Amino acid sequence: MAILRGVKPDEVVDIAAALVEAGVGAIEVPLNSPDPVESIRRLCDAFGDRALCGAGTVLTPDAVDAVAEAGGRLIVTPNTDPAVIAHAVARGLTVMPGFATPTEAFAAVKAGARALKLFPAGTFGPGHIKAVKDVLPREVAVYAVGGVGASNLDAWRAVGVDGIGVGGELYRPGDRAADVAERAARLVAAWHG
pTM tops 0.85, yes or no? yes
Tens-place pLDDT, residues 65-121: 999 999 999 999 999 999 999 999 999 999 999 999 999 999 999 999 999 999 999
Name all domains of the chain by residue range, CATH numbers in brackets.
Answer: 2-192 (3.20.20.70)
Tens-place pLDDT, residues 141-160: 999 999 999 999 999 999 99
Tens-place pLDDT, residues 2-44: 999 999 999 999 999 999 999 999 999 999 999 999 999 999 9
Residues 6+ apart with CB under 8 A from 49: none
Q: How far is CA 187 from CA 16, 21, 117, 153, 174, in A?
A: 15, 13, 18, 9, 20
Residues with catalytic roles = 28, 117
